[in-house]
Amino acid sequence: MWVTGVLAAAAVLTAPRWLPARVVALRGKVFEKVNGDDAITFPNADVGPDRFQEVYGHPAANGRSRGAGLSDLFWYWLSPGPEVHQEHLEAGPRYDDVARTTRALLAGPGDALSAAAARCAGRVLDEVVTGQVALVRLRDLMTPVWAEYFYELVFGEPCPREARDLIVGHADDVVTSLKCTGLRHPARRARLTRYLARRVAAGDVRRPLPASLSPAEQVHYLQGTFFNTAVVQMSEAMAHVLLALAQHPDVAARLAADERYFAHVLDETMRLYPLFGIAHRITTGDIALDERTTLPAGSVLCFSYPDYHATGYARPDVFDPDRWRDVQARTAHHIPFGVAANRPCPAWRLSPLALRGATAEVLRRVTLHSTVTHTRSLPSRGPCLLVRAGEPLPPRRLAVLGAFLRVRDRWEDVWRSVVQLVLGTVMVLHAHRLRLAGRYFDTHDTQGRPLRQEPPSTQEITE
């Protein structure tokens, strides 16, 4: 009897070591089963890292949404308006129109794009760091920064507080549900939709919106691309950069002294913590791999960024920005913004510029300290201490705060992994039932034109 008690106590006490990884693996299995896609994940034994980009960039690997159960899940997480999100649009004139608009809104002189990010970061830090030290979660710290930044980019004016709160509420709801740490709240997202609808109707957007979209679709396009994807991706990227700096003070000190070092720091951060776990495509034609193997049209292909980024480097698990002195990003196994041949990220130019400006501003004002686990999906949102620059904490106090953060993080990880399993399963099943992508393509073609459900009656034909 007492042996069982001891074993149970040991299992509970050691849970932070073994439970989270197992729960994550189980969640992956549940997702696979419910989506039921029979997806092929690359790199694998047949297509190694050397041919990864060739398959990813193949002209037939260009289907985005139609024909994959996985699309129902992404549409569910990114709604409202997933049918007009650039990421989900099938190739064709409507996609070209939308992609052109995104490029126009993201264009601008490099210095101005960096300086605006520094300004937004400075404003938010002023609000948050009011004493010598502040305990924050880095993703939450950064979401208002990028909400203000993309508001300015879209509307060409400073972001009012009301708009910032709506954007933060929306972006946070999307990323929280994507990480399965909370459910989605359509009503919260709808509040931003209503706000944007008013602004679009008043003609307040800095550039013309895609003419091939209806006014309601234009609002959803803006909301999905700029106030969801842009804000979420930049907040996540910045959380990774800052957490890496908090855990590598030597790198942070070097960067504070020389901003040019940022390119290596960002490359290494995005190599080790790529924002995409997988990107998926549906093949629209056959892809012949060799004389004997062909991927038939309609296959669901998943491209694993972390697996690809872990190949071709010495000590791939180590964070080492200096490795980029000898590695050419062009030839390395490194695709932080996707592959040029197949719909790469339209913000591949803007993002590093803006991240550099914001990071420099943070380092000017605070030093960063964190003892938490740094993982790619970072469901903890990056707990971190910000200590005012030039006002260091006594080492003992820093050590005590560091120990507190470490212990809290390990135990939070235990309950969070269970929450993620339960909520993830609920959402995958809900998405499967709603079949947002499947139902859309039952009634629309790839360019969003309604399909006829029934053949026309004789009377309709003769009228």
Q: Which residues between 297 and 336 bind ligand HEM (CB under 6 A)?
A: 336
Query: Residues near 290 by Cβ (< 8 Å), separated by ≥ 6?
Result: none
Alpha helices of 283-394 — where are they, by DSSP H? Answer: 305-309, 350-365
Distance CA 277, CA 334 (A): 13
If we measure between CA atoms, which residue out of 359, 303, 366 comes closest to residue 336? 303
Q: Which residues between 13 and 42 bind ligand HEM (CB under 6 A)?
A: none
If we measure between CA atoms, which residue out of 365, 361, 348, 321 comes closest to residue 133? 365
Q: Which tokens belong to 397? A: 């106090």
Site track 272-301 with ligand HEM (rule: CB under 6 A), x = hit: ---xx--x----------------------
Query: Which of the ranges 99-107, 173-181, 210-218, 314-322 carries the binding residues for ligand HEM, by CB under 6 A?
Result: 99-107
Site track 343-362 with ligand HEM (rule: CB under 6 A), x = hit: xxxxx---x-----------
Q: Which tokens belong to 146? A: 């990028």
Q: Using the rule CB under 6 A, which residue among 86, 114, 143, 283 binds ligand HEM?
A: 86
Q: Which residues between 42 and 61 bind ligand HEM (CB under 6 A)?
A: none
If we measure between CA atoms, which residue out of 165, 152, 145 comes closest to residue 365? 145
Closest to ligand HEM by CB, 95 or 409: 95
Burial class (CB in 10 A: 0-12, 13-18, 19+), 25: exposed
The distance of closest approach from Cβ of residue 275 to ligand HEM in the complex, given in angstroms and rounded to an integer, is 4
Residue 433: how many other CB atoms lie within 10 Å: 10
Closest to ligand HEM by CB, 251 or 358: 358
Distance CA 196, CA 202 (A): 10
Task: For 94-139, give the DSSP string.
Answer: HHHHHHHHHHHHH---HHHHHHHHHHHHHHHHHHH--SSEEEEEHH
Angle between helices 350-365 and 231-247 (to 10 degrees): 50
Closest to ligand HEM by CB, 133 or 171: 171
Distance CA 62, CA 137 (A): 37
Binding footprint of ligand HEM, residue count (CB under 6 A) = 25
Query: Which of the ranges 212-220, 271-279, 321-329, 416-424 carries the binding residues for ligand HEM, by CB under 6 A?
Result: 271-279
Query: Which of the ranges 98-106, 169-177, 242-250, 430-438 carries the binding residues for ligand HEM, by CB under 6 A?
Result: 98-106
Closest to ligand HEM by CB, 351 or 371: 351
Closest to ligand HEM by CB, 71 or 420: 71
The distance of closest approach from Cβ of residue 146 to ligand HEM in the complex, given in angstroms and rounded to an integer, is 8
The rounded Cα 432 to chain-centroid distance in angstroms is 22
Q: Which residues between 226 and 245 bind ligand HEM (CB under 6 A)?
A: 226, 229-230, 233-234, 237
Distance CA 397, CA 393 (A): 7
Q: Using the rule CB under 6 A, which residue among 24, 30, 99, 414 binds ligand HEM?
A: 99
The distance of closest approach from Cβ of residue 346 to ligand HEM in the complex, given in angstroms and rounded to an integer, is 5
Under rule CB under 6 A, residue 213 binds ligand HEM:
no
Residues 238 and 358 sit within 8 Å (Cβ to Cβ): yes
The binding site for ligand HEM (CB under 6 A) comprises: 86-87, 99, 102, 106, 225-226, 229-230, 233-234, 237, 270, 275-276, 279, 336-338, 343-347, 351
